[in-house]
Amino acid sequence: MDLQFFKDFDFTDFWNESSYSVRDYIEPFPDDELIASVEEELGYKLPASYIELMRLQNGGLVDKFCFPTSEENSWADDHIAITGIMGIGRDKTYSICGELGSQFMIDEWGYPAIGVYICDCPSAGHDMVMLDYSNCGKDGEPEVVHIDQEADYKKIFLAKDFETFIKGLKSEEEFDSE
């Protein structure tokens, strides 16, 4: 596959190949028809960088799961953590149109309907990472933000786009306090 994004990114040790990841996250590779139907269902055009990554592996747990923040949040003073990245599909529990996917978080947990929730967090639903279309419209390039349900759905800016977010994920050891 000829990459348009992530050209200089090393995916060695990026994905966590656990049985939990296979069972609840990893969907078959998405074809154009599935992508179009998911976009129609969600009401947003998915970023090309997200689609490209999902064509390499369609969702899953990650080994580098922390992202630095300049704002304190319910997880830590200087970073957030994700559990996994939701794949494009409907079959797995943690896919963007799955049982605990994006629309579920909006309908059942009251998360703001301003985009697509793409990453769950270790808090079991109390914070999420999303593609935020507030500033770009439903067909634009969304920013990546953290939404903290524990802090009245406070939004913390993470990255200007999905590719920047993925490249910015760090290992937990980089945040261990002394």
Q: How far is CA 68 from CA 12, 65, 111, 164, 165, in A?
A: 21, 10, 22, 12, 10
Does some domain include residue 1?
no
In a domain, 7, yes or no: no
Instruction: Count the domains in the chain.
Output: 1
The Cα–Cα gap between 10 and 1 comes to 15
Residue written as tokens 């154009």?
32
Task: In whole angstroms, give the CA distance from residue 131 to residue 115.
Answer: 5
For residues 80 and 158, the answer to whether their CB atoms sit within 8 Å is yes
Domain that holds residue 149: 15-171
Residue 102 within a domain: yes
Inside any domain, residue 126: yes
Is 82 within the bounds of a domain?
Answer: yes
Q: What is the pLDDT along the chain (178 residues), one digit of tens a residue?
A: 678 999 889 998 899 989 999 999 999 999 999 999 999 999 999 999 999 999 999 999 999 999 999 999 999 999 999 999 999 999 999 999 999 999 999 999 999 999 999 999 999 899 999 999 999 999 999 999 999 999 999 999 999 999 999 999 999 998 875 4
pTM for this prediction = 0.95
- Specify the pLDDT at position 1: 66
Q: Exposure pattern of 157-167 as b/e (b: 16+ CB <10 Å)?
A: ebbebbbebbe
Count CA atoms closer than 13 A to 56's CA, side-chain side. 19
CATH number at residue 147: 3.40.1580.10
Q: Is residue 3 in some structural domain? A: no
